[in-house]
Structure 1
Amino acid sequence: MSDEKKFEAFHREQLNKNEEIQSETVKDRSGHKIDQADDNFLDMSQSEIKGKNQIEKKLLEQLDELVQQGATLERQEEVTELHREWLTYSWPNYTEDKHLEIINMYEADERYRDYFGEDRTQELITAVKHVLL
């Protein structure tokens, strides 16, 4: 299988995971269509996907630090900024209101909590709400 075909298969697998997690919830509550986010994802280059994955890794590390060492305003701001950067890879038009809406969805829907893990998700919810509200 060529590198291009492998990359396309990877894109499709990630997209299917995202759709399974987000489903109709994103269409109904966040104000943008999942198809638009899907299009943005499918258009991402290997380097953009690598960048998104690096930000996700940093975000998870920072969330682990919050869980293990407790929250400080600086850590919460960093987590919020990393989460914003991570979201903007898929969202064409980021706003703080949309960011808060997705955080509310994390709080309401266990599928989102499963993605990051319960403790990490709770820290993310707390951090984003503290920083943006």
Structure 2
Amino acid sequence: MKYFVTVQATQADYEAMEGTESPGPPRWSREELLAMVNFMGELNNELAASGELLDAQGFTAPAEARFVTASPGTEPVITDRPYAAADVQPAGYWLLECVDLDRVTEIAARITQCPTPPGSPEHPVVIRPIGEAPAP
């Protein structure tokens, strides 16, 4: 079965990772950022070696998102919607093929162990099973 696994972050989290001081999440040092990158790289390598990794990507900061909305028959409205620093958004994903929900849950639990600076917020790792379209 395929699963879409996402990690969550806020705009303030991205700014903290870039070294910006704020009243929210603690500022990341270069060493802390490298520890996160190395952790994720090792995890991705292991998942690729096991054949479970189909894709994995990180997203840019929420402030770089664009929204396109419309009702049927109307012109689309495109906005660069500003985010509050506390709005939690997907920060990256893994597309995995695992034997069952228990296995992907083990992987998500491991993701929660990614090193972060002391005092960093704890955002959930979200698992979404990917359904199959009904046969035509």
- Shorter-normalised TM-score: what interval? 0.3 to 0.5
**Which structure has more strand as a fraction of its residues?**
2
The higher-RCO structure (CA 8 Å, 6+ apart) is 2
Q: Please report the TM-score for the alignment, with normalisation by the length of structure 1.
A: 0.36
**Which structure has more helix as a fraction of its residues?**
1
